[in-house]
Structure 1
Amino acid sequence: MGTISGSKATDQAIAGCLSGSFSTATLHPLDLIKTRFQVDASRLPRRALGGTVDAFRTILRSEGWRGLYRGVGPNLLGSSMSWGLYFYWYEISKTWIQSESGTQLGTSDYLLASTAAGLATQFLTNPIWVVKTRMVTQRATDATRYRSIIDAVWRMYRSEGFGAFYKGMVPALLGVSHGAIQFTIYEELKGFRRRWGQETMNAKPGPVEYVLMAALSKIVATVATSPAQVLRARLQAQPEYGGTYSSLSDAFVKLLRNEGVRGFWKGLGPNILRVLPSTMLTFGMYEWLVAAFAAFEPKKGRV
C-alpha cells in the first residue's frame, strides 16, 4: 500500500482538508442561514424547508449574492483546518490505541479516538469559529461590520482581549461528542458492511455506500448535539445578534425560559439540509482520495 506523503496520517489530513474545503465552499449559504437561526432569540417557530427558503430569499433581496457568502473566508479556513486536523489526530489515536491493545478496534476504541481527535481539533480551531460566527451574523447595512478576517481578529482583540477567541469553548467541547457519535456510528456501519460482504461474497463498499453511511451517522450526531451548537453560537455572537450571555449557564437558563425547549434545536432544519450534501461530498471525496493516495506508487529512482 502506497502513500503520497510518506505517512498514512498525513494522507488522511490532506484528504480531509481538501474534501472539507470543497463541501464548505459549495454549501456556505446554508451554513450562514443555520447560524443566523441559531442566534435568533425570538420565540417564533421556523419551518425547516420553508423557513430556510424564506431566509435565502430575504438575504438575496437585501444583501445580494455576496450576502449569502458573508464569512466564507473564516468558514473555509476553519473547515479545512478542522477536517485535516481531525482526520490526522483520529488516525494517530486509532493507531496508538491498537498498538497498545494489540487487538481489533471496537466501539469504545472508536469513541475514544474520535473524542481525543475532537478535543485537540476544537482547541486549535475555536478562534476561527468565533470569527466565522461574528462575520456570518452581521448584515451588509451594519456600520461596524468586519471587513475581513484580519480586521475581525484585530478589532476583537483590541476591544475584547484574547479571551474573545475562546468564547463558547465549553459548549464547543461538549459538542465534541458530535464527532465522537458520528465517527463511531460511521466506523460501526463500515465494519458491519465489511463483515456482511465477507459472508455474502459481495464486493467491498462502494462510494455510494460510504456516502449513505456517512449521511446517516451525520444526521444522528447533528440532532443529538444541536443544543451544544446553539449555545456555542449564542456565546460567540456579538451582543446585537444574541451574544448577551455572561456564561454557559446564563445562556442555558435564558434560552430555556424565553424560547422553550424548541429553542435548543433552532437552525436544525437548514443544518440538516446543509449537512446531508456536505457529508456526502466530504466523505465521498475523502474516501476516494484516501484510496487514490493508497494506490500511489512513486516512480523508481525518484528521490
Structure 2
Amino acid sequence: MKGPKKYSGMVDCLVKISKEEGIRGLYRGFVPGLIGTAHGAVQFMIYNRMKVWRCQRLGLQENAHLDSRDYLVFSALSKCIATTVTFPYQVLRTRMQDHNVQTGGVVRTFVNTLRREGIRGLYKGCIMANLRQLPAAVVTFVTSSMHVDVVQLRLWLNQHDHLIGGFTGGIVSTSVCHPMDLLRIRYSADRGQGIQVQPTYNSYMDATKRIFRAQGIRGLYQGVSANMTARALSWALYLQWWVVRIAFSVSSKEAFNKMREILPFHTPSENVDNFICAILTGCSVLCISNPIWVVKTRLCLQYETAAKRNYTGMVDCLVKLFKGEGVRGLYRGLLPGLFGTTQNSLYLTIYTRLKAWRCQGLGLPKDSKLNSRDYLVFSALSKCIATSLLFPFQLVRTRMQDHNLPSGGALRTVVDTLKLVGVHGLYKGCLMANMRQVPAAVITFVTYENVRNLVKSTTY
C-alpha cells in the first residue's frame, strides 16, 4: 500500500520545506537552474540566425515579414536544439529538488549520475521534454511572430462591452453572495406543517451555523459552480441583448425600432415598449439557461443530514437529470420562471430610469459615467422593489425544481402552498432574497459599469 502523501498542496509544501530545510531547501537546484537559463538564449540566437538566413535566401531585408510556415519551422527547430543541448542541467536541477533521495550538490549529483547511468542518464526524459517544448514553442511563435489584428479586436470589445461587463459582474456577485442564495432556496423549499424532508432551521443564523458545522465553508457553497455559470451566462446575454443597448445607447435607436417590429402591438409609451422587449429578452435567455438553474437548485437542496448525495457536481447532475427525467426534467419550473423574468425587466427598467434621471439632473448625456455611489443606490433600490413584487414566482419555481418532493405543476404548487400556510407561504425566504439580491445587484452593476467603461476606454 502507498503511504500518505508528504505534501497536501503548494502552501503546505512551502511551509514544510521552509521549516525542515530553511532557505537552502527553497533554493535547491538554483545553480543548474542559472546555467540552464542559457537555454532561452541559445534558442533565441538560433531562431534569429535562421530568420536572417531565410531572408537572405529570399533577397529580403533582415527584419522582413516571412511566411507563417517559416516561423513555425524555425521556432520548433530552434527549441529542439536548445532543449537537447542544455537538457543535462534540467536533469541535475530536478534530481537536486527531489525530496525522496539525498543528492548533495551539483558536482556530486553530476558525478553520481555519470557513474551509475553514464551520459545517457543526463538525457533521461529528453524526448518528452522536446515533445512538450515543441507545442509550447509553436504557441509562443503564434502569439509573438504573427501580426494580431488589433483594430478588429478593439472593435469586437467595443461591440461586446455589455456582454463582458455582465459576465464579469455575474461571476463576482455570485462568488460573494452564493451562501445567501443557498439559504433563500432552502427556506423557499421548506413546505412546513409536517412535510419534513430537510432539517428544521430556527433562523437564518441557525441555518448558517448548522451547515457550517456539518460541512464547513464548502457546505455554504454547494451548487456555486452551477450558480456562477447560470448567472454569468444570463447577465451576459441579457445585458448584451436589447435592454441595455436600447436603454443606454443613443446609437441604439435603430436596434430598438427593429425590435419593435417583432412586437404584435405597440403602446404610446416607448418605456412600455422597452419593458416588453426586456421581457422577451428575459424569456429567450431563460429558455437557454433553465437547465443550469434546475441543476443549481438541486445541488443547493442536498442537505447535510441526508444519508447520501444524489449528485456529485454540476455535470453529474445534468447527466442524471436528463437520463432520469428527460428534457422535461431540464425545464422544470420554466413557466413560473418565464413570469419571473419580469423581475429583471422591472429591475432594469427602474434602474435605467433612475440612471437617466440622474444624468439629466447633472446635465450630462444619457450614457455618461456616474460615480459608484449612484450605481450602488440605484441598483439596490431597483432590485429591492423588483424582488419583493415578484418573489412568489421564485418560490414556486424552486419548489417545482426540488427533487426531494413531487410538486406537480405551477398551479398545483401555488394551491398547495396557499392551503398549507396561506399567502405568507409564498414569501418564505423573501427576506434572505432581498438580503442576497441587494448586495448581488450592487456588485453586479458596479462591476458591470466599471468593466464596461474600462473596455470602452481601452478601445479608443
Shorter chain as denominator, the TM-score bin is: 0.7 to 0.9
Q: How does 1:11-50 map to 2 (within 5 A)?
A: 11-42=161-192
Residue 256 of structure 1 and its aligned partner are, at CA, apart by 0.5
User: In the TM superposition, what are the counterparts of 1:209-224 in structure 2 within 5 Å?
Assistant: 209-224=374-389
Closer/same/farther in 2, CA of residues 55 and 100 from structure 1, 3 Å limit: closer
What pairs up with 1:79-118 in 2 under 5 angstroms?
79-91=231-243, 94=246, 95=252, 96-98=255-257, 106-118=270-282
Structure 2 distance, partners of 1:291, 1:93, is 14
Are the equivalent residues in 2 in contact too, given 1:90–1:116 (CA < 8 A)?
A: no
Size of the aligned set, in residue pairs, is: 283
Aligned equivalents of 1:74, 1:227: Cα separation in 2: 22
Q: Cα deviations across residues 224-277 of structure 1 (Å, max 9, x unaligned)?
A: 110000000000011x2xx42211111010011001101111111111111111
**Cα distance in 1 between the residues matched to 2:295 and 2:417:** 22
After superposition, where does 1:217-296 map in structure 2 within 5 Å? Answer: 217-238=382-403, 240=404, 243-296=405-458
Identify if the C-alpha distance between structure 1 residues 92 and 224 changes in structure 2 by more than 3 Å, giving closer, same or farther.
closer
d(CA) in 2 for partners of 1:99, 1:116: 14
Structure 1: give runs of 5+ residues left out of the alignment.
45-49, 299-303
Counterpart AA for 2:256? I
Matched, 1:189 2:367: no
- Which amino acid in the other structure matches residue 442 of structure 2? M
Q: Deviations over 1:190-239 (max 9, x none)?
A: 1111111119xxx963111011101110000100110000000000011x
Whole-Å separation in 2 of the counterparts to 1:124 and 1:142 = 33
Read off the aligned partner of 2:459 and give its amino acid letter.
Answer: E
Q: Using the alignment, how far apart are the partners of 1:143 and 1:99 within structure 2?
A: 52
Match of 1:70 among 222, 235, 255: 222
Instruction: Specify the code of the residue in structure 1 equivalent to 2:435.
Output: L
Other-structure match for 2:294: 130
TM-score, normalised via structure 2 length? 0.58
1:169 alignment counterpart: 334
**Larger RCO (CA within 8 A; separation ≥ 6):** 1
TM-score by length of 1: 0.87
Displacement of 1:113: 3.0
Distance 1:260 1:143 in 2: 33
In the aligned structure 1, how far is the partner of 2:257 from the partner of 2:215?
51
Amino acid at match of 2:338: L
What percentage of residue pairs aligned between the two structures are identical? 29
| CA gap 1:4/1:271 in 2 versus in 1, 3 angstroms | farther
Unaligned residue ranges in structure 2 (runs of 5+): 1-151, 195-201, 247-251, 261-268
> Helix, strand or coil for the counterpart of 2:165?
helix
Q: Is the 8 A contact 2:223 2:299 kept in 1?
A: yes
* Aligned match of 1:10: 160
Give yes or no for contact 1:197–1:204 (8 Å, CA) kept in 2. no
**In 2, distance between residues paired with 1:144 and 1:297?**
48
Distance across 1 between alignment mates of 2:369 and 2:296:
39
User: 3-state DSSP class of the match of 1:271?
Assistant: helix
Distance 2:211 2:446 in 1: 30
CA drift at 1:52: 1.6
Mark the structure with the bigger radius of gyration.
2
How far off is 1:5 after superposition? 5.0
> 1:63, CA displacement in angstroms?
2.4
Distance in 2 between the 1:149 and 1:204 partners? 38
Regions of 4+ moved over 6 Å: none
1:163 is displaced (CA, Å) by 1.0
- Could you say what secondary structure the match of 1:129 adopts? helix
What are the Cα deviations for residues 47-88 of structure 1, in whole angstroms up to 9, with x where unaligned?
xxx822121111112222211011111011111101111111
- Separation (CA, whole Å) in 2 of partners of 1:54 and 1:120: 38
Report the AA paired with residue 259 of structure 1.
Answer: V
Partner SS, residue 175 of structure 1? helix
